[in-house]
Structure 1
Amino acid sequence: MAASNWTTPHHSTFILLGIPGLEAAHVWISIPFCSIYILSVVGNCLLLAVIKSEPSLHEPMYLFLAMLAFADLVVSNTTVPKTLCIFWFRDQAIHIDACLAQIFLIHSLTTMESGFMLAMAFDRYVAICNPLRHSDILTHQAIAKIGLGVVMKGVALLGLHPFLLKWLPYCKTNVISHTYCEFMVLAKLACVDTTVISAYSLVIAFFTGGLDFILIVLSYILILRTVFSLPSKQARSKSLSTCSSHICIILMFYTPAGFTFLSHRLGHVAPHVHILIANIYLLLPPMMNPLIYGVRTPGIRQRALHILGLKPA
């Protein structure tokens, strides 16, 4: 479908180019994308099944992990199928409403993922720094309230984004140089000044992912201070081991997220590099979460093998 210039603010379709400059390699790039997507869907579905079916895993850490797995599933299914259609069939057209829905789901769900990681960090903080009160503080009712609060924050703070974009007049082009719709990418296509909207997006980003990251870092500073004050070397090793998986997930999530966020506003990054890292940001954590926790958590690993029929009950 050919791209076209618009002379009116009324529109119905955008054109997603995929990865500009790497069009000839789209089919090859689709192989790791598709493989990661399949592993993400299978891994997170299996993780949810394991946590649901194993009563010993109905603890705060694993309940928050189940919430994270569900958010990962939705994020993966929001972006990857359309990306693969671009790579395989050159199906580049996306309706404006689908584009805005994609923007809302991506930003709200990644905000929820950040919130669930903060909840997991809080669980580790209470478990290590105040273990005697862990069961009293993180009751099932408290876990449900925290989960609901994270979801409501994502919906409330990011719910305005698609409406802001819907009201903008687009008279430049309908071509989006990306594999999926992003807030800042679409805002840059508008033919009016979007400084206020960009500033609003920056503030929201700080009060969601940015603030969550600061609180996670603070919680782990307190955790590490408590761990290294433990008299037993074995106790220190066990405590560090329980936190290492979570720290790996946090680094995989926030590193590409920070790069993607800053590259939009600071520029000076090759478009194909930015797009590849933006996709890694959405692809890699959903695949790695079940793998890391499955490998490092005996209860999850053994139950998963049993569900897969690789281990007797």
Structure 2
Amino acid sequence: MNDTTVARLDAAVKRYGPLTALDGVDLAVRRGELLALLGPNGAGKSTSISLLLGLIRPDTGRAELFGLDPQRIEARRRIGVMLQSANLPPTLRVGELLRLTMSYYPNPRGCDETAALAGIADLLLRPYGRLSGGQQRRVQFALALCGRPELLFLDEPTVGMDIDARQKLWTAMRALVAEGCAVVLTTHYLEEAEALAQRVVVLGRGCVLSAGSVDDLRKRVALTRIRCVSELDTEAVAGWPNVASATREDGHLRIATAQAEAVVRRLLDADPALGELEVQRAGLAEAFTELTRDAVEAADTDQREAA
């Protein structure tokens, strides 16, 4: 393991009876980056994180945390974890939970610093059990970062949060990465990964389908989106060469194409009154859908056969 790699899976295989959850996965997490781990349900995201946390062992291959066995206490003291659910004592006040968790670490953040970073300063005197679901998620985030982790695992961290709370959490994640902390993020909000991740790994059926920057993933999708105001007939445009689809939405003509330049030229020729022309390359959502389509279809086939 080199100096910048803080966790890794090396040819990791994990089976549950006849189901292969991970099939020879290689994964490296680097210091000072936010790595988004994406994939449809059953892709292997939770299994990958469980291996890196030492909650389960690979059947073959290797999992490492700071070059050590993930179950070693020396490694675990250097991480923070926020899973999808947490069973915390409902009668304890938030400040009490925070101070208790801080006591497990050799060099924790101060209580006030942690509360400010996680946006829970106004909750410290409230019993945990009386908080809303979104407020509880913010407290769980504070508990994950209070130990000053070098590596932070965030599993669907913003589920249940309103837009303002989600934006504050994004700001906190960026601050942690700027400090040199590595963050592993799993999320179903693709705009979250697009806004935050330096690197994205897409899993499907236990295998790595793609790994790289958001731009690298976008390049895997040939389609470009064209949006304009035009009175041209939608069905006629849909029949043009190089047009994958044409729809009308909110008064705008929307076109998907792999040959944007040729289609734009024809639009301008066909409609001199055309306005509000916008051309955008595919976003992460399109890339994700394209990459995982085969894996999702195969999973659906397996379910039908099993039934």
TM range, normalised to the smaller chain?
under 0.3
Structure number with the bigger relative contact order (C-alpha 8 A, sep ≥ 6) is: 1
The TM-score, its normalising length taken from structure 2, stands at 0.23
Larger fraction in helix: 1
Larger radius of gyration: 2
Q: Which has the higher strand share?
A: 2
